[in-house]
Amino acid sequence: MNKLILIPVLAVILSAGVTLGAEKKGETVMSHEKVIGVLKRVFVIGAETTGFSLDLDSPLPVAGEQLNELEVDGNGIDLQPYLGKKVEVTGDLTQRSGIERGKYWVIVASTVKPV
């Protein structure tokens, strides 16, 4: 009898794990980019943000848009020392999707250095 109850419970747990992993797979990597701008802190109600943004020195053409600002995912890099400074960020330009914001662009940093 206990085995019959355990099987549906395991099925629910496993399907929940697959669903959580699919959220990350929903990202679309467009290209590897090197961008320059001033790093700033970003606060958004609902938490659909990386917490950091780059005011770009020049517009970045992406998918028919001209981006003047780009969110930065530090990807394990401590971005705090670079706040308010002009930096060069290299990484994958990624389109993310949120419930409140819809689609938005993020650069997932592989390197960050002062300019």
pLDDT, one tens digit per residue, over 76-111 is 999 999 999 999 999 999 999 888 888 899 999 999
Taking the domain 27-114, which CATH number applies?
A: 2.40.50.140
Tokens representing 24? 């990350």
CB 50 within 8 A of CB 74: yes
Which one, of 6, 73, 11, lies nearest residue 42 by Cα? 73
Predicted TM-score (pTM) of this structure: 0.73
Contact in structure between 70 and 91 (CB atoms under 8 Å): no
**Residues ≥6 apart with Cβ < 8 Å to 73:** 50, 52, 91, 94, 106, 107, 108, 109
